[in-house]
Structures are given as C-alpha cells and as structure tokens.
Amino acid sequence: MARVLPDVVAIDKEFDYIVPEAFEATVRVGTVVRVVLAGRRVGGWVTALDVEPPPGVALSPLARVSGWGPPAELIDLSGWAAWRWAGHRAHFLRSASPPGAVRTLPAAASTRRPPPRTPGAPAPGAPAPAEPVPGGPTPVIAEAEMAALSGEALAGGRRVLQLPPAADPTPVVVAAAALGPTLVLVPAVARAAVLARRLRRDGLGVALLPDDWALARAGVDVVVGARAAAWAPCPSLAAVVVVDGHDEAYQQQSAPTWDAVEVVGQRARRAGVPCVVISATPTLDLAHPAGQDGGVGPQSAALVVRPSQSVQRRGWAPLEVIDRRSDDPRLGLWSAPLARAIAQGGRVACVLNRRGRARLLACAACGELVRCERCGASLTETADVDTANGETAAVDTAVVNQAVVNQAVARRPARPQRRVSELSCPHCATTRPGVCLACGSSALKRLRVGVTRAAEELSALVGRPVSEVSGPGAGTEAHGELLMGTEAVLHRVGPLDLVAFVDFDQELLAPRYRAGEDALGMLGRAARLVGGRRRGGRILVQTRLPEHPALLAALLADYERWAQPERELRAALRLPPSSVLARVSGEGAAAYVAGLQAASAGNQTVQILGPAEGQWLLKAATATGLSDLLAKVARPVGQRLRVEVGPRRV
C-alpha cells in the first residue's frame, strides 16, 4: 500500500492506493505517480509505504509511475514549510520535483570522499582562492585569512559570513565541499551557471539546477542553483552555503511567500550540518541577536563572522556623496559633480528607480497635480511635442539648466514651449489629452522624471547615446558604455567604472520599513560591480541625506553604523526581527481575519492591525505563534485569499 498526496492544491489530503506488483521495484517515498481521483487522473507523490488502509475501504491501484521524485526528507520538510508559510504541501513539492519525468538516474558524479569529521571541528583548510574569471570579483582577502574565515564559518550551526562586496565567495564553497556533498544557493540562475563552471574547473562534480536535477539526485559534490534549488536533492548533505543571503530574490513573490534561506537553514539544522550565509550587507533577520525566535526556534540565531576591518575597507569601492541640500531644486537631476564624473568616460551606469518618462506631472499654470479622474493615480506622459512644428522635444531646458548642461543645450536650436499630447494612467489604463482638468492649460511641468526621460536628458548632457535598462530581462546582460536604468541595471551588467545613484533619497525614504536595508544592499551590489579599492572604480550618490546611517556604513565599510540604530528602531516599533509579520488580503480576507481574531482572543503575542486598503497586518512575537494561529483557522471556501507570511514590502 502507498499513501499519495495528489498534486491538487485545493485538496491538501492524502489517499491510499494499492501498489501493483509491476511497480513495486520502482515505488519509494517521494516517487512521482499518477492516480485516479474523483474520476480523473492526477499527478502526486508517494508520502509513505506499507500503510494500513482504513477498514472497509476498497482501494484503487496506482495508475502509473512517472519517475523519481524528491527524497523522503523533503517530503517531510514540505509539511513544515506548509505550516510555516500558510500554504499547501503541493506548492513546495513541485519545487522539489524534477522539471520533467526522470525514470533512471545517471551515475553519481562525486569526486571526493572526505574523511569523517568530528562535529564542531574546524573545516579542512580552504584552497587558495580561485583565479578570477574575466569580469569576476577582485580577490581582496589573503589565502590564510580566507581559510581561517571559512573554517570558523563552517564550524557548525548557522553562521553569517560577512565578506565585503568585492570578495570572492568561491573559496568558501570549495572549503564546504571538502566536508562532503554541499548545497549552494545564489540569487540568480546566470550567477549559478558562472559558479558551477568555476567549481568544475576546480575538479568538483557539480549539478546545476534545474537542468541537472537527476544528477543531483544521484549524488555530486556540489548542487548549485537559485531560489528553487533550496528544494533540490542532495544525498548525504554535509554543508549548505548561501551567497548574498540578503537578496530579496530568495523570497517567493506569490503565495505562499516562502524564503529559500530559511528553508535551507531548516534543512541544515535537521541534518546537523553547518549552514553559511554569505552577505556583505546582511539583513537584521539574518544576524539578529541570540535568544529571539526568527522562525525555526533559537537555533536560527546566527553568529556573525567578519574579516578584519582593513579587508572590509579594501572590499568596498570608494563612495562619493554629492550633498544636494543647498542646490536649487529647479536644477533637476544632474548636478555639476555628477555631470563631470560621467563626462570622464569609462563604463557608467546611472540608477533611477522610476520607469517611464515622468512619474509626477503638474500644471505649469495653476500648479494642480495631474491625476487620473477615474482612480486618482498620477498620470504619465506617452508623448510630447513642440507646439510650433510638432517635433518630439529632445531636451527639457527647464529641468536640465546647469552650466555644464547649458553647454550641450546651446548647440541646439532654441525650441518653443513644449506641450504634452497624451496622458495615460499606469493603474487603470485610462488615457486623455494632455490638459489640466482644473484650468484647461496644456502646459505641464515634470516634478519627477522617469528613467526614460532621464536617459534623454543624459544623452543631451554628454553628447553620446545612452542605453536604457528598466526590466529584469530574464538574466540577459545589458550592453553599452553609458547605461541608464532602474535597479535592474545592477543585475544585468558586468564590470563598471562608475555607478551613479541619481536620486538616492527615493531609496532611503521609501515607505517601507526595510528601506535602509534595501538601500545598503544596492550600494553593496554597486560596489561589487566597480570592484574594491584596488580596481579604481567608484560610486557616486546624490542625496539630501548625506548622514544617513546606510550611507555612512558604505562610506566607512562599517556595517554596524547602520545596523545598531536600525536594530534599536525596529525593536521600539516591534518590527522584524523583533516580531514576525503576515499580510492578509483578498475578497475572503474579512471572514478569515474574523476567524483569526476569535482564535487569538486573549492571546497577547499576536496583534491584528487593519483594515487598510483592504489589507490586514498580523504582528506576532514569534514565527511559531503566528504559524500556529494561521493553521487554526479554515480558509473561506470559494473566495480568493492571499496570506503573505514575512512580506518584505511593508
């Protein structure tokens, strides 16, 4: 007899089936099968064997064996994850299963058989850092210090290894692989492929997920992949390494909003093996003080391992802060120091996290904001023309009017007043002519330009073409010597000479509690692209908050400059890591929250706030208390409900 969990999210229940004699040799816990359920064939996973069926029930046989599936430990882990993130096991087992049917496994590709290691003993000496590939990070840590750091980080339990941005994490992975089969996560598939090539060059057997799922199931030295690889098979798991553990790409955006770093941390804890989370700018959730429950009990509290301060300084690129507090606000985006830096040449990326041509418009006559008459959102321009000749305007001299910009503009013929021809709403798609509804004027001014318009201004400023990058691009690399884009540009380029954050206050003052954390992570990403101090690249930041702790932390290569005040602020506001959050929304949210309020009556550890814009926020002292409460209340039938546990954007 076999117990099967159907691959049907709406039915989170197991059913018993007979295993035909022809399938007995191929059915094991985790095998992917096909079964008949309610008159139709569905896929599923075997969760147990040799079970005792309910009395008086006639069982149906398994219809088909599709092939290999996740090992038994991941079947069990899916139950924990369903409880932790208020989801269904099928969501997680899909991530743990191969992308296609796997009927046979290849030969194991493990090349090393390390001697047994006493639990808690230091890891074997790490090899010398691998020679960097073209465009790879610049080595900033000496071999001896890297070996010591790797040994301390791999000594046992969960550790955060705070390597500076320009440091190469590959030696840590190689040191972990010396302990035995190692699971490695990186934020993006493209970076996983680069790391896999380097490890293979070092002589290790590597499975790159998702394509090499069968090889990983058979057994290799290192299993490498992005977020979904947290559920990859890795027989005889000996160590876990997470690269850039602060990256929000590790969290699933659709519900259930599971976090890959926490999943592999739980896997490592259950297996009794070390888990190393590498990050130049760790979130407070990763490095919170011991004694607080961050999701899997006190064991989740991490020790932080750091190199010397001199190494930290070498691994951060020089950062220049352009203080714009005394600038005339009419000068627009491009300060004179930034314009001069860009004009010096080299490969430059300018970052502005606003898409489109203009994100905020106002009437030049009466000052009224240009908003959608249907939903109230700010409208964006879809085209702009000169009133005299109908040609598209190339430069807005009311925005770009500094001396250095005027030199570029002066070479162009004078243009008459610009007029916006059409406006559109990015939320409800309403369009209308470019006129003010308050006074009827067609003269509109940009209060906050988007990246498209900024690219046009930059091209006029420097007199050379600018490539716009404003989307994820599915891992494709952006090309060009002068790039203008949203934060996506930092994920789609190779080495740079200069990264300029055109309006960094937008990041520092973003309406979410992780704003400073995310801003510091962006600076770390930029520092990696321009290299450490030895490479000569640099970062420019335009801001009116030059003494913000996140900027000081990057400027001085001192993480605690940001972490200490942020930790105190979050504790005062009961925000993570001092609490655990969940957000509930959807048409069934009101009924579900009513059930939560009834179930939590008298419970002082869970606070329910809202509603605000149809959403409720749950704030709990521990992840255990929150998950237990969410599991107590049944979801409304036939109504859409979204439960986000641990949302980052709050």
Instruction: Give how far Cα 233 sits from Cα of 47, 68, 267, 637, Å.
Output: 16, 11, 11, 35
Element (H, E) at 505: helix 505-508
Q: pLDDT at position 598, please?
A: 94
- CB within 8 Å of 427: residues ≥ 6 apart: 372, 375, 377
Please choose, from the candidates 271, 277, 273, 272, the residue with its C-alpha nearest in 3D space to the C-alpha of residue 294.
Answer: 277
Please choose, from the candidates 521, 524, 531, 458, the residue with its C-alpha nearest in 3D space to the C-alpha of residue 496.
Answer: 531
- The rounded percent of the chain whose pLDDT value lies above 70 is 84
Q: Where are the alpha helices (DSSP H) in 238-364?
A: 260-271, 309-315, 336-343
pLDDT in tens, 328-380: 766 788 999 999 999 998 999 999 998 776 666 778 888 787 888 876 777 87
Phi, psi of 285 (to 5 degrees): -65, -35
pLDDT at residue 135 is higher than 50: no
Q: pLDDT at position 368, please?
A: 83
Distance between CA atoms of residues 130 and 169, nearest Å: 10
Q: pLDDT at position 93, please?
A: 97
Distance between CA atoms of residues 276 and 457, nearest Å: 45
pLDDT at residue 320 is higher than 50: yes
Average pLDDT over residues 52-77: 93
CB 257 within 8 A of CB 647: yes
Average pLDDT over residues 64-85: 97
Beta bridge partners of residue 259, listed in sequence order? 251
Q: What is the mean pLDDT of the chain?
A: 85
Q: How many C-alpha atoms does 208 have within 13 Å on its Cβ side? A: 13
CB 102 within 8 A of CB 213: yes
Average pLDDT over residues 632-646: 93
Look up the CATH number of domain 2-96.
Answer: 3.40.1440.60
Strands annotated E in 74-216: 158-161, 182-185, 206-208
- The rounded percent of the chain whose pLDDT value lies above 90 is 66
CB 196 within 8 A of CB 210: no
631 C-beta neighbours (distance < 10 Å), count? 13
Handedness of CA 384, 389, 393, 395 (dihedral sign): negative
Three-state SS at 250: helix
Q: pLDDT at position 87, please?
A: 95
CATH architecture of the domain with range 316-355+452-573 = 3-Layer(aba) Sandwich (3.40)
Q: Which residue has the higher pLDDT, 511 or 412?
A: 511
Q: pLDDT at position 139, please?
A: 67
Average pLDDT over residues 467-483: 77
pLDDT at residue 404 is higher than 50: no
**Would you call the peptide bond into 235 cis, given omega within 30 degrees of 0 as the criterion?**
no
Identify the band that residue 475 occupies on the pLDDT scale cut at 50, 70 and 90: low
Q: pLDDT at position 565, please?
A: 94
Lowest mean pLDDT of 9-23, 203-217, 266-280, name the range: 9-23
Handedness of CA 6, 255, 282, 290 (dihedral sign): negative
Average pLDDT over residues 8-22: 92
Average pLDDT over residues 44-48: 97
Identify the band that residue 37 occupies on the pLDDT scale cut at 50, 70 and 90: very high
pLDDT in tens, 209-261: 999 999 999 999 999 999 999 999 999 999 999 999 999 999 999 999 999 99
Instruction: Give how far Cα 430 sits from Cα of 173, 374, 385, 440, Å.
Output: 52, 8, 20, 18
Average pLDDT over residues 45-55: 92
Q: Which residue has the higher pLDDT, 549 or 115?
A: 549
pLDDT in tens, 136-180: 444 689 999 999 999 999 999 999 999 999 999 999 999 999 999
Q: pLDDT at position 332, please?
A: 81
Domain 580-645 has CATH 1.10.10: no
pTM of the model: 0.84
Identify the band that residue 479 occupies on the pLDDT scale cut at 50, 70 and 90: confident
Q: Which residues of 247-257 are buried (b: 16+ CB within 10 A; e: fewer)?
A: bebbbbeebbb
Q: pLDDT at position 402, please?
A: 41
Strands annotated E in 103-259: 158-161, 182-185, 206-208, 222-225, 239-243
Identify the band that residue 477 occupies on the pLDDT scale cut at 50, 70 and 90: confident
pLDDT at residue 112 is higher than 80: no
Three-state SS at 2: strand
Tokens 């007029």, located at residue: 419
Look up the CATH number of domain 143-313.
Answer: 3.40.50.300
Domain range summary for the chain, segments of one domain joined by +: 2-96, 143-313, 316-355+452-573, 357-449, 580-645
Element (H, E) at 16: strand 15-17
**580-645: same fold as 143-313?**
no
